């Protein structure tokens, strides 16, 4: 998990790569962490082999001013580009210098499928709320969860968007589909690293 924490705290410009280089820092770090945790998964994650893939790693490392870069673990049977559906674990680097990446659970902009059964279960929303409460008990005001993850017609509350202003690009573009989010503290300490882990 330590490389992932370092990625979360990496500057936005470090997420990208030279245009001629197909790999990038975010993809390498996340692929390595997932490979260490789930050794049977294809190292590239986006390649599908014999139905074994459990995730697809989608990275938009465009760090230009108006771009919204992200790194996401999404359901495997999706197109390799464009919109995707289902739930995903997403990191959004901050627009502002010095802030860490926003850690979020997101419904793909193409809809709930193939995870509508999971997203619609009350237990999934309760787990997100419990994790949010745990995070807020340790770092007050750092986490938020939507009461019902399937309500992609409801945007983030104004107060939450305001609190997440370092990630205004991400919350502006994906606010309706973010259903649980955590903003790690800007100042790192061993205790905050343990909470992030």
Nearest to 48 by CA among 72, 73, 77, 83: 77
DSSP-derived 3-state class of residue 118: helix
**pLDDT (tens place) for every residue of the chain, 197 residues total:** 788 888 888 877 777 654 434 446 777 777 788 778 777 666 555 555 555 566 788 888 777 778 888 888 888 777 777 888 899 999 999 877 778 999 999 998 898 988 888 899 999 999 999 999 999 999 999 999 999 999 999 999 999 999 999 999 999 999 999 999 999 998 877 776 776 66
For the record, the structure tokens of 45 come out as 């994650």
Instruction: Give the N- to C-terminal CA distance of the chain in Å, as an integer.
Output: 6
Q: Which residues of 31-65 are buried (b: 16+ CB within 10 A; e: fewer)?
A: bebbeeeeeebbeebbeeeeeebebbbbbbbebee
Residue 196 is encoded by which pair of tokens? 């992030």
The three-class DSSP label of residue 20 is coil
Residue 107 Ramachandran class (φ > 0 left, ψ -120 to 50 alpha, else beta): beta
Give per-residue pLDDT as tens, 38-66: 776 665 555 555 555 667 888 887 777 78
* Short-list 57, 50, 112, CA closest to 86: 112
Burial of 129-145, coded b for 16+ CB within 10 Å and e otherwise, reads beebeebeeebeebbbb
DSSP bridge pairs for 181:
104, 144
Within 8 A by CB and 6+ apart from 142, the residues are: 135, 136, 182, 183, 184, 185
């Amino acid at each position: 998990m330590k490389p992932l924490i370092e990625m979360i705290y990496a500057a936005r410009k470090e997420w990208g790569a030279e245009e001629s280089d197909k790999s990038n820092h975010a993809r390498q770090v996340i692929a390595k962490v997932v490979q260490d945790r789930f050794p049977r998964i294809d190292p590239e994650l986006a390649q599908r082999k014999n139905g074994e893939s459990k995730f697809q790693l989608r990275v938009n490392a465009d760090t230009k001013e108006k771009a919204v870069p992200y790194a996401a673990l999404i359901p495997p049977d999706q197109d390799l580009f464009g919109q995707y559906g289902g739930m995903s674990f997403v990191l959004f680097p901050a627009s502002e210098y010095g802030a860490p990446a926003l850690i979020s659970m997101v419904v793909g902009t193409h809809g709930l499928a193939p995870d509508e059964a999971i997203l619609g279960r009350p237990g999934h929303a309760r787990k997100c709320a419990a994790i949010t409460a745990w995070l807020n008990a340790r770092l007050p005001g750092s986490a938020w969860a939507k009461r019902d993850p399937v309500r992609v017609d409801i945007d983030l509350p104004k107060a939450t968007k305001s609190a997440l202003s370092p990630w205004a690009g991400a919350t502006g573009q994906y606010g309706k589909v973010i259903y649980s989010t955590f903003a790690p503290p800007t100042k790192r300490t061993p205790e905050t690293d343990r909470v992030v882990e």
